[in-house]
Chains A and B, each alone.
Chain A
């Protein structure tokens, strides 16, 4: 289905990543946003509050807190809307229970986290990338989510747009993991005409009321079709472990069936979800560089400078940058580990995606973390030095 032109601000703009995120959501058909102000994410909802009244059919509500915001959007989803909430570190922490709710009731919705330095109130105005594992594991219980990680305002538009499509396709909460730098950085953002933007329609059921079951799998995707409240289906939705009808069932058999599917619908389809970009990793094809730098978000751009410096010293080094960070591009990284000498992970934390990489590499090559506490980006020289060292 083509994007609704009312929400698409086609043209070439100069805007920051937060504003681009807002435009990505609007273009994707998001028509319900609940949020609570927090630096450095507030610009997203400020722009939404300004844009919705003129786009029509959209509601922005500033809720009393992030706990409320993160469940209000799920009410909106069951009313048939595409919905998102937007926050940063402390607010993201408050949303965790409802990420689990969205996972178990399979509510397609989008959570934007513009990462700042933590823990706690940390560095409100300065960048961090230390919520990456929280995005993956933050709520209790077992489930899978999808998370994307843009490294520019343009990608903030593109990946927020894609986040809505992924949410609909897999009926999962999708996290857009910005960081303060990308959120506040101004660059050119090109928004295509609406007829060039492909929107994944919600997977509506074809069943009649009385026959429809909200958690019944009808095809190989393991993703049950949806309905909306008010259409006569009289559904029951619960955060308790439930059967296909949505009725609570308190036993291990029901638990196994439900949780297994929540996990499998992402894990078994990960190949179709993962996305990454590589620069100088395999040039020419089949010849993997000696050192691979894995970096995402703003750090991928800083790492590129580190890579250039290392190349000047004669090191064959390339960048592997996940755009979809969860599920992680596990197969590709394992493949690279077979051939490369070393993998360097640069991130604004003291080891989050690094441990994922280390696990995947499993000793097949050496790994090195170039950590950083946040508050500023890395010094590219630090990344260069690590590359040179591991290449020896």
Chain B
């Protein structure tokens, strides 16, 4: 764990330890990487959300961020590249009692896995999707992703990225996600609160966390180390709760609009399934359990 803002108590057990597979530490993440920071926030959200952790499952795809599932002491699934969401869909629908969290990277969720995201959001599958957006493919050596802003240099855009990048909150919003927020790894308290809120939502929640990859993205673009990333996030992020998502795209080292943009209610897939079949079949239909576990937001 290399979260920049973690201050480990020197004596007692770190409060996050019980949530981690300590027998798998140290993690594979580089010094200054933001992924560990987000995990730290996630464990805090788990402590506070009031959920029975035996009923929380985590699913990741492939990538540095995709390794998150492997370090959390939950039922955890490290699947294939881009396919965490459909795996999670099967897991959730087959046992609606589970709270299922998808945790993966920008490349995994929005390049190879983009189609699955838009459909899961449209269907309003009851999932929390956390995207660690470092604007690069960390695991494979820093290639361009669908979120790399122009003119950032990546190993496959040696002369600078030039494609139009995704504005992820806008994408999630337009596909029907019920909760959409963005933070940077500078905003540790806000991330934890957002995760806690999202864990209590019914339907597809999406949290984007802008996170540094000092080893590849920052080095190639001469942006300094993890601490420099924190300085950038601190200086250039503005919190605009409820901001229209169409306006929150991120340019190279530009302003990062943060906050909870969307928080609404909409029928989940299982609720819609039950409603439709009840209407069509009446007493012949055996309703499927929605399995909503009661969770409290403090």
Q: Which residues of A contact B (CB under 8 A)?
A: 31-32, 34, 53-57, 59, 61, 63-65, 67-69, 71-81, 83, 97-98, 101, 228-240, 247-248
Also in contact, A230 and B57, with CB within 8 A (given A57-B288, A236-B76): yes
Known: A64-B115, A75-B88, A98-B80. 13 other contacts (CB 8 A): A31-B94, A53-B285, A56-B286, A59-B288, A68-B85, A75-B59, A75-B91, A76-B91, A79-B94, A83-B94, A98-B83, A101-B80, A234-B75
Question: Contact: A71 with B91, CB < 8 Å?
Answer: no
Q: Kindly count the residue-residue contacts between A and B in the assembled complex, taking CB atoms under 8 Å apart.
A: 142
Q: Which of B17-46 contact A (CB under 8 A)?
A: 21, 23-24
Say yes or no for B116: interface residue by CB 8 A criterion. Answer: yes
Say yes or no for B86: interface residue by CB 8 A criterion. Answer: yes
Also in contact, A75 and B286, with CB within 8 A (given A64-B119, A229-B98, A235-B76): no
CB nearest neighbor in A for B276: A53
Query: How far, in whole Å, are A72 and B284 apart by their CA atoms in the complex?
Result: 27
Question: Contact: B78 with A59, CB < 8 Å?
Answer: no
Query: How far, in whole Å, are A90 and B34 apart by their CA atoms in the complex?
Result: 40
Question: Contact: A74 with B87, CB < 8 Å?
Answer: yes
Q: Which of B62, B78, B80, B269 contacts A236 (CB 8 A)?
A: B78
Question: Contact: A78 with B91, CB < 8 Å?
Answer: yes
Q: Which residues of A contact B21 (CB under 8 A)?
A: 236, 247
Question: Contact: A228 with B95, CB < 8 Å?
Answer: yes
B-side interface mostly: helix
* A-B residue pairs, 5 tightest by C-beta: A75-B90, A56-B286, A79-B94, A75-B91, A72-B90
Question: Contact: A53 with B80, CB < 8 Å?
Answer: no
Question: Contact: B87 with A71, CB < 8 Å?
Answer: yes
Q: Which of B48-100 contact A (CB under 8 A)?
A: 54-55, 57, 59, 62, 69-70, 73-80, 83, 85-95, 97-98
Query: How far, in whole Å, are A101 and B273 apart by their CA atoms in the complex?
Result: 29
Question: Contact: A80 with B288, CB < 8 Å?
Answer: no
Query: How far, in whole Å, are A78 and B21 apart by their CA atoms in the complex?
Result: 20
Say yes or no for B277: interface residue by CB 8 A criterion. Answer: yes
Question: Contact: A229 with B91, CB < 8 Å?
Answer: yes
Instruction: Give, as a whole number of angstroms, the nearest-CB distance from B94 to chain A.
Output: 4
Instruction: Give, as a whole number of angstroms, the nearest-CB distance from A321 to chain B.
Output: 35
Q: Which of B54, B75, B79 contacts A71 (CB 8 A)?
A: B79
Query: How far, in whole Å, are A125 and B92 apart by their CA atoms in the complex?
Result: 35
Also in contact, A53 and B86, with CB within 8 A (given A101-B79, A101-B80, A237-B77): no
Listed by A's residue number, 11 A-B pairs whose Cβ atoms lie within 8 Å are: A31-B94, A55-B286, A57-B286, A63-B86, A75-B90, A76-B93, A79-B91, A79-B94, A83-B90, A229-B98, A235-B76
Q: Which residues of A contact B115 (CB under 8 A)?
A: 64-65, 68
- Max chain B CB contacts within 10 Å: which of A55, A76, A231? A76
Also in contact, A80 and B94, with CB within 8 A (given A54-B281, A68-B116): yes
Question: Contact: B54 with A232, CB < 8 Å?
Answer: yes
CB nearest neighbor in A for B86: A68
Q: Which residues of A contact B54 (CB under 8 A)?
A: 230-232, 234
Also in contact, A53 and B281, with CB within 8 A (given A229-B75, A230-B57, A234-B73): yes
Question: Contact: B86 with A230, CB < 8 Å?
Answer: no
Question: Contact: B70 with A238, CB < 8 Å?
Answer: yes
